[in-house]
Amino acid sequence: MNTKFIFVTGGVLSSLGKGLAAASMGTLLKARGLNVTILKLDPYINVDPGTMNPFQHGEVYVTDDGAETDLDLGHYERFLDQHLGQANNFTSGRIYNNVITKERRGDYLGGTVQVIPHITDEIKQAILSVASDDLDVAIVEIGGTIGDIEGLPFVEAIRQMRNDLGKDNVLYVHLTLVPYIKTAGEIKTKPTQHSVKELRSIGIQPDIILCRSEVELSDEIKAKISLFCNVDKDAVFTCIDVESIYDLPLSLYEEGLDQKIAILLRLSAKNPNLHTWEELVKKVHNPKGRTSIAIVGKYVDLKEAYKSLHEALIHGGIANDYAVDLVYVNSEEITSENCAEKLAGVKGILVPGGFGSRGVEGKIETIRYARENKIPFFGICLGMQCAVIEFARNVLKFKGADSEEFAEKTPYPVIYLMKEWFDIRKKSIQRRDKESEKGGTMRLGAYPCVVKPETRAYEAYGVAQVSERHRHRFEFNKMYAKDFEKNGMTISGFSPDETLVEIVEIQDHPWFLACQFHPEFNSNPLHPHPLFREFVKATIQYTK
């Protein structure tokens, strides 16, 4: 095994940006010609975030293999421009579940099962599962904050790994907060000192300290942190607040982070080629103009709930050399009377996914407004289902048309649970245990989609078949397909066997397209998703 490991921990408080720091490190090491992957270890007891409220946890990110994961995997995929999967995200719940399953099976031969060594060994096995002869570096982010009781088994496991693999193969990077007290005009290092002290008390001496700060740290401040935290002077780096998250790799490169990592891990790596990334950042900071797009959903009070969507729209702007201003609108507050006022001034409207009936009528009203006023519209997952319901009610005049998710006895179930498909799926599924449990009621992960020629979808993709990621239970009811197509809604994407509808659009409209899948999960700044590129282009061309 040639893989070396970088463990990223965080101190002082949460939401410092460990995920972005880890992703930026991966970007820099990949630019040096190294083969890199990233893992996220989450201390919460949930087996995965699939059942967690977006207000608490943010979005649930879905990978090609159907894993429901932490949103940081989205950062990893976007920054590294590569696909990850179930092996890149483990939680305490999953680790404990694996250990309990082994104990029930008798794998421990009747021995007492304990946190050390059984839980820690399971964690180490999860980390080592990604190692291979052709993988140079695995970056492992430990979720939570040092000192959290639920994170202790993970910290103990990574402590053991230096003893297992040797100093040249394991590196500890600690991200802390260095606050700037504006009223005093002083930078305070005490929180960092206490955080490192807490980490050292558990048995880990960090090799590198990343200091999250709103101001540049002087050499004197870095020397002080070096002295009190027992790290090399050239191993203390400013992780300064940046205007765009895509500035961060270049900022850390200027600090010399990747060079220090290469030295400490004895990596045979060439100088980084960051030309493509530099060009990307130039585009971000020098747009030709601006456009505005409303995101109408029910989780808008927590922007992290739509993180991938936010970034995909930014990517669509990059593809068009435009900046995108996002206006978040709570769908629960929208009515037919105030819709025009709530959406005044925007050049495009996007209705995202979600579960449950709350806020759905506001989404439907929003879509009616976009359709009738010829405003560029993009619907995703539930957004597509709402577009179908709106069209059925207001164009087809199907009174009471709805989804079986919201109204089981609707006279027109234009969106329904396709039980026959799920029954077949249950019998044929060969994937991981979790998907075996949920695969019968939810489409998760990547599925192929055939794109109909001479449609906006085909114009965007430029190919006849694509692969997109899904996370939903209910489907377009094909029993009504002819009614929709006869009245102006085109089915432009469907499954290869033509049983499932994937994309619908309206031709007599500047740009009206909705899809059952989540294209935001397949977008990154270097390769913006075609549908987001075309949607943003339509908003740029829109004139009221």
| Residues with catalytic function | 381, 518, 520
In the chain, % helix, strand, coil (3-state, to 5) comes to 45, 20, 35
Contacts of 95 (CB under 8 A, 6+ apart): 119, 122, 123, 126, 153
Pseudo-torsion of CA 266, 270, 275, 277, nearest 10°?
Answer: -30
**Whole-angstrom distance, CA of residue 270 vs CA of residue 279:** 20
Closest CA to 34 of 278, 258, 264: 258
Q: What is the DSSP letter of 524?
A: B
Instruction: Measure Cα distances from 511 to 216, 220, 374, 455 in Å.
Output: 45, 56, 8, 11
**Helix orientation angle between 257-264 and 18-31, rounded to the nearest 10 degrees:** 70
**Whole-angstrom distance, CA of residue 58 vs CA of residue 71:** 7
| Count of other CB atoms within 10 angstroms of residue 161 | 20
**Whole-angstrom distance, CA of residue 228 vs CA of residue 225:** 5
Instruction: Count helices and strands (H / E) in the chain.
Output: 20, 23
**Whole-angstrom distance, CA of residue 451 vs CA of residue 110:** 56
Contacts of 489 (CB under 8 A, 6+ apart): 388, 391, 395, 504, 505, 506
Strands 180-181, 236-240: pairing kind: unpaired
Instruction: Measure Cα distances from 322 to 249, 293, 528 in Å.
Output: 22, 12, 13
Closest CA to 309 of 238, 366, 381, 360: 381
CA 289 to chain centre: 27
Length of the chain: 544
Token digits of residue 410: 């609707």
- Taking the alpha carbons at both ends of the chain, their separation in whole angstroms is 61
**Whole-angstrom distance, CA of residue 389 vs CA of residue 401:** 6
DSSP result, 257-274: HHHHHHHHTT---PPP--
Token digits of residue 489: 């809604």
Given the structure tokens 């483990």, which residue do they identify?
Answer: 90
- Is-contact 525 282, C-beta < 8 A? no
- Is-contact 37 135, C-beta < 8 A? yes
Written as one letter, the residue type at 416 is: Y
